[in-house]
A = this chain, B = another copy of it.
Amino acid sequence: MTDRKRALLDSTVRIIAHKGVRGLRVEEVAKDAGVSVALIYHHFGDRSTLLQSALLHVGQRAHEYTRPISAGDARAALLATVLGEIQDDAEIRDNSAAWGELRDAAIFDESLRPTLDALTGEWVDDLADIVRRGQADGSMAADLKRAEIGQRLTALVEGLSSRWLAGLISTAEAHALLEGAVARELLSG
């Protein structure tokens, strides 16, 4: 992706995070990024394509800030990857808020669904793959259902993120709840 295209998508994500999908005006993205509206249409075609590109960008950004800490043993990697989604960082907060807005927009905007479905599936698979790694090295029980663990932990991150973004729970509280969830998911049987 070109730097300019990335800057346009960063602006789009920031505006969605603060004003929602329905509040997104292409004119405001252009103003925020310091370019013409025509250039945005040149890069992204229509508004619907811009939203899909923004959703992909949100997924890519989340991948970048969770992936670097997913090294080490499988259990620590699983926990670090999950905790990485909720951090006291303005870009991560905006990314999380934009994800929530775009995800909920997909309830009525069918054009967003294939992208949302693919990104959610990749996220679930990322966690399932860490469990597979733990099962391979014997540090996690062989009877753990990887896909279910991935679905539940990612859905829990989404539910807790909304509460965290609205200020109902702190970052520390969200992390403690996620640590408890990871511990329970890794129990055999």
Q: A residues touching B (Cβ–Cβ < 8 Å)?
A: 18-20, 22-23, 97, 100-101, 103-104, 106-108, 113, 116-117, 120, 145, 148, 151-152, 154-160, 162-163, 165-169, 176-177, 180-181, 184-185, 187
What's the number of copies of this chain in the assembled complex? 2
The complex places the Cα of A160 from the Cα of B158 at a distance, in Å, of 8
Closest beta carbon of chain B to A67's beta carbon, Å:
21
Q: Which residue of B lies closest to A145 (CB)?
A: B180
Closest beta carbon of chain B to A29's beta carbon, Å:
17
Q: Which residues of B contact A20 (CB under 8 A)?
A: 20, 22, 104
For the residues of A in contact with B, the DSSP-based class is helix
A154 x B148 contact (CB < 8 A): no
Q: Which residues of B contact A103 (CB under 8 A)?
A: 162, 166
Q: Which residues of B contact A176 (CB under 8 A)?
A: 148
Q: Which residues of B contact A162 (CB under 8 A)?
A: 100, 103-104, 107, 155, 158
Closest beta carbon of chain B to A16's beta carbon, Å:
11
List 24 contacting pairs A-B, 8 Å CB cutoff, sorted by A: A19-B22, A20-B20, A20-B104, A22-B23, A100-B104, A104-B165, A104-B166, A107-B165, A113-B166, A113-B167, A113-B168, A116-B168, A117-B168, A148-B177, A152-B177, A155-B156, A155-B159, A155-B163, A155-B177, A156-B156, A158-B159, A159-B159, A184-B185, A184-B187
